[in-house]
Amino acid sequence: VHRTKVKVVEGVLDANDTLAAANRSDFERHGVRVVNLMSAPGAGKTTLLERTFELGLDGLRAGVLEGDVQGSMDADRLAAYHVPVTQLNTDPGFGGECHLDANMVRSALPSVPLEELDLLMVENVGNLVCPAEFRIGEHARAMICSVTEGEDKPLKYPLMFRACELVVVNKVDLLPHLDFDVDRLLANVEVVHPGVPCLRVSARTGEGVEAFRDWLVEAARGGRPAAAGVTAPA
């Protein structure tokens, strides 16, 4: 078992928390609620946002801060929905950072039109480890997991499933073609994060997207984030 120097990591987190608080203060001065979306690569964050924009957000003015190692493919997709999208690339010349942190978000804020927004959705870098360790000043976090990833993921990446106010179980349209037991996944979620609301969604067919939209709207209106149509483990 490998052990890193925990002291160093704690130092980093403290600086991050200070910057996250500064971001939060800016968000609140502008009356913007911020939701941090996290998932493994390819779990469907961008497609879920596309379907959500198609449904509409009940009159709320929404924007996106798009985090990627490099490129702006997702940002380009979302800009088609006529929402303000800001691209934040973590690539420092090689490899790139595998997560957003408060300082990166802070560096991007001058390019985000906060005064025009009620809700800012931050699409984090696809990764089930480090994004969960770095608060960015957000009001709520949603993590999206895909049914193609296996039922064991909450047990293997517990911090990610714990550090969120909503779990979206995406790609449920594929369930008939997979050896995947949703109840077992939900039971594993319950082990690491008792009581967290879970939504069954297919961003492809639209199933469950309305419930996700409702959760976002409630989060944006300052209500305690809680999912409608919660799917509890049996």
Least CB distance to its own copies at residue 16 (A): 12
How far apart (Å, rounded) are the C-alpha atoms in residues 95 and 14?
25
21, 80, 155, 191: residue in contact with its own copies (rule CB under 8 A): 155
If the CB atoms of residues 47 and 52 are measured against its own copies, the closer one turns out to be: 47
Query: Does residue 7 belong to the site contacting its own copies (CB under 8 A)?
Result: no
Query: Does residue 94 belong to the site contacting its own copies (CB under 8 A)?
Result: yes
User: Which string of x and - marks every residue 104-143 that binds its own copies (by CB under 8 A)?
Assistant: x--xx----------------xxxxxx-xx----------
Query: Does residue 178 belong to the site contacting its own copies (CB under 8 A)?
Result: yes
Contact (Cβ atoms closer than 8 angstroms) between residue 31 and residue 222:
no
If the CB atoms of residues 49 and 125 are measured against its own copies, the closer one turns out to be: 125
Least CB distance to its own copies at residue 196 (A): 18
**Residue numbers of the site for its own copies (CB under 8 A)?**
1-4, 6, 9, 40-42, 68-71, 73, 88-98, 103-104, 107-108, 125-130, 132-133, 146, 148-150, 152-153, 155-159, 171, 173-174, 177-179, 204
